[in-house]
Amino acid sequence: MTQVHITGVGMTRFGKHPDSDATDLGAAALLEAIADAGIDARLIESAYVGHVFQGMVMGQRILAQVGLAGLPLVNVENACSSGATAIREASLAIRAGENDVVVAVGTEHLTSQFAGALTPDPSDPEAAIGATMPGIYAMRATRYMADHGMTREQLALIPVKNKANAAQNPLAHFRKAITVEDVLESRAVADPLRLHDCSPVTDGAAAVIMMSDRAAAKYANGRGVKLAASSLRSGSVDVEPTSMTYEPLTWATALDAYEKAGIGPEDVDFAEVHDCFSIAEVLRVEGLGLFEQGSYPRAVERGEANIDGRLPVNPSGGLIGKGHPLGGTGVAQVVELVRQLRGEAGDRQIEGANIGLAHCRGGKAVGIEGAACTVQIVTR
Amino acid sequence: MTTSVMGASFRPGELEVRSDGTGNLMGSRCRACGASFFPVREACAGCLSQDLETIPFSTEGVLYTYSIVRQSTPAFEVPYALGYVDFPEGVRIMGQISGIDFEDIRIGMPMELSLEPFGEDDEGHPLTGYRFRPSEVTK
Ligand SMILES: [Zn+2]
């Protein structure tokens, strides 16, 4: 079976884009990825486009914008994992031998869709009684603090780290470093979480071009990195209540990815994880097996997750610093892995990294642990 | 259990409200393996049996975790307390918390189901929903 090579990446600035829409953003990211790959756009054989709130046939609108009509095209909705799921489906088209050159795009113009707290779908019983996504993660934070003795100040170090990284990322939504005091003094959203603990409402898009061995040998110019694994799981139904401070869904997805890539968590050099909230980063990295359960807050305190630390987490700034345009997020994570592995990450470059991991996890429905989870492993 | 209104249930599939003022959260129990689920399911996630019965859950449980929500959608007036309560049937159900000052809420508190006014229907008739409140000390 062929390997999957990522040979071109593109990403818009993440932030507020009042003068453009999700089509413009997706098209800009796609054109940049094509230029980065240095290929004739006519080589692209199929397209997968992830978004959540952008309406029917988003992907067709983007491809029409750049003159690419007629391709097999799939629009993908999988909550915050939509873009990452698009990458997974695109990579399967290559592994199956169906296509040699495919593109995955993720886009979202979120500022035109809503403001404030995201909620589960209104039909959901939990949404009907007032569940919000910040509220759900806040409850997990309350329990984690009780179970593992994490302090509010330790939790604040995560947005401090991620916004410091974002300050080094020219494409990030936030470009200003903050302090623990800034976090603790920001507006309360859902106790114990405050505004700086939350990812912002962001517009943005990203795109990656993937190739088979055969196409990469012809067109990759030696700049390709490998998508060693792209795994997807959906949440299982709770048969009995389990700890909300651990993520079996994240672990099941990671295990599949580790097996496919032939590595273990100890081999991962750096990670982009789904820090939709500060507490989420804790739950993700422990669920991925990158840090032991209950240990991450103190590891962050020791600087282990910094860009120059033992295992950098969210060097791009993460969702909290770089921003979280739902469909764009999972693709942008992979763009960051590729740029880090190519040595093109500028002031936030991690030295000597060979294996990067990206994790997305999104959505909520009553009675299941999480909705959609993806883990991608990219290697040099 | 505490009751204060008699409007129709805000979500009859999940909350049964009876004319005598009592009510229960409703779910499924698998006749094959005994696992319980909220809300009602068509098949058991434990053993895939479709032999499920709809059951009322106990009205007493234990608070697993909570948060005070200070920003929400326009449908809900903030702040309000939100919590997960573990019931003896083996289900964990989310609800708002009432009948206690925010600062006194603690993980592990015994809680009971409370039927309370919960908005109104399209024609303006009051609806009954549920919250969880600390159990009356009766033991
Ligand atoms: Zn069963």
Per-residue pLDDT averaged across B15-42, rounded? 95
Q: Is the pLDDT of residue A240 over 70?
A: yes
Q: Is the pLDDT of residue B137 over 80?
A: no
Per-residue pLDDT averaged across B5-34, rounded? 92
Q: Is the pLDDT of residue B5 over 60?
A: no
Q: Is the pLDDT of residue A221 over 80?
A: no
Per-residue pLDDT averaged across A329-347, rounded? 97
Segment A277-315, tens digit of pLDDT: 999 999 999 999 999 999 999 999 999 999 999 999 999
> What integer pLDDT is reported at residue A124 of this predicted model?
87
Per-residue pLDDT averaged across A65-70, rounded? 92
Q: Count the Cβ atoms, other than its own, within 10 Å of residue B139.
A: 5
Q: Is the pLDDT of residue B1 over 80?
A: no
- Closest partner residue to A128 (CB to CB) among B11, B41, B70 is B11
- Closest partner residue to B67 (CB to CB) among A191, A236, A366 is A191
Q: Is the pLDDT of residue A123 over 90?
A: no
C-alpha to C-alpha distance for A327 and A53, rounded to whole angstroms: 9
Among B9, B47, B82, the strongest candidate for a mutation testing the A interface, having the largest count of A CBs within 10 A, is: B82
Longest dimension (CA), chain B: 44
**Centre of ligand 1 from the C-alpha of residue A240, in Å:** 12
Which residues make Cβ contacts (< 8 Å) with residue A159, sequence separation at least 6?
A178, A183, A196, A197, A278, A320, A321
Per-residue pLDDT averaged across A136-142, rounded? 97
Least confident of A31-35, B71-75, B88-92, B127-131: B71-75
For residues A225 and A8, the answer to whether their CB atoms sit within 8 Å is no
**Amino acid in the structure at residue B138:** T
The superfamily (CATH) of domain A5-114+202-227 is: Thiolase/Chalcone synthase (3.40.47.10)
> What integer pLDDT is reported at residue B139 of this predicted model?
43
For residues A311 and A270, the answer to whether their CB atoms sit within 8 Å is yes
**What residues are paired with B96 via a beta bridge?**
B82, B131
Per-residue pLDDT averaged across A76-90, rounded? 97
> What integer pLDDT is reported at residue A15 of this predicted model?
98
In this predicted model, which residue has the larger pLDDT, A120 or A228? A228
- Closest partner residue to B67 (CB to CB) among A126, A187, A190 is A190
> What integer pLDDT is reported at residue B138 of this predicted model?
46
Q: Is the pLDDT of residue A57 over 60?
A: yes
Per-residue pLDDT averaged across A252-280, rounded? 98
**What residues are paired with B77 via a beta bridge?**
none
Q: Is the pLDDT of residue B51 over 80?
A: yes
Helix, strand or coil, per DSSP, at residue A311: coil
**Centre of ligand 1 from the C-alpha of residue A248, in Å:** 20
**Centre of ligand 1 from the C-alpha of residue A324, in Å:** 39
Note whether A142 contacts B: Cβ–Cβ < 8 A.
yes
> What integer pLDDT is reported at residue B123 of this predicted model?
92
* Partner-chain contact A236 B45, CB within 8 Å: yes
For residues A279 and A197, the answer to whether their CB atoms sit within 8 Å is yes
Assess whether the region A5-114+202-227 and the region A125-199+230-379 belong to the same CATH fold. Answer: yes
> Percent of chain A, pLDDT > 90?
90
C-alpha to C-alpha distances, B1 to A44, A125, B37, B88, B135, nearest whole angstrom: 64, 21, 22, 16, 8
For residue A270 the two structure tokens come to: 């750096």
Which residues make Cβ contacts (< 8 Å) with residue A289, sequence separation at least 6?
A251, A254, A264, A265
C-alpha to C-alpha distance for A228 and A215, rounded to whole angstroms: 17
For residue B19 the two structure tokens come to: 């004319």
Tokens 């934070």 -> residue: A141
Q: Which chain B residues are closer than 8 Å to A125 by Cβ?
A: 11, 14, 39
Q: Which chain B residues are closer than 8 Å to A241 by Cβ?
A: 64, 86, 90-92
Q: Are strands A355-362 and A270-272 parallel, antiparallel or unpaired?
A: parallel
> What integer pLDDT is reported at residue A346 of this predicted model?
96
Q: How confident is the model at residue B16 (pLDDT cuts 50, 70, 90)?
A: very high
Q: Is the pLDDT of residue A17 over 80?
A: yes
Q: Which architecture does CATH list for A125-199+230-379? A: 3-Layer(aba) Sandwich (3.40)
> What integer pLDDT is reported at residue A114 of this predicted model?
78
Mean pLDDT of chain B: 93
Per-residue pLDDT averaged across A147-168, rounded? 98
Half-sphere CA count of A243, side-chain side, radius 13 A: 15
E strands along B14-125, which residues? 15-17, 23-30, 36-37, 52-56, 60-69, 80-87, 91-97, 110-120
C-alpha to C-alpha distance for A290 and A232, rounded to whole angstroms: 18
Q: How confident is the model at residue B3 (pLDDT cuts 50, 70, 90)?
A: very low
DSSP conformation letters of A238-250: PSS---TTS-HHH
Q: Is the pLDDT of residue A237 over 90?
A: no
Q: Is the pLDDT of residue A355 over 70?
A: yes
Segment B112-136, tens digit of pLDDT: 999 999 988 889 999 999 999 999 8
Q: Is A324 a catalytic residue?
A: yes
| Secondary-structure class of domain B58-139 per CATH | mainly beta
Q: Are strands B23-30 and B15-17 parallel, antiparallel or unpaired?
A: antiparallel
Per-residue pLDDT averaged across B22-34, rounded? 97
C-alpha to C-alpha distance for A244 and A255, rounded to whole angstroms: 19
Mean pLDDT of chain A: 96
For residues A363 and A373, the answer to whether their CB atoms sit within 8 Å is no
- Whole-model pTM: value is 0.96
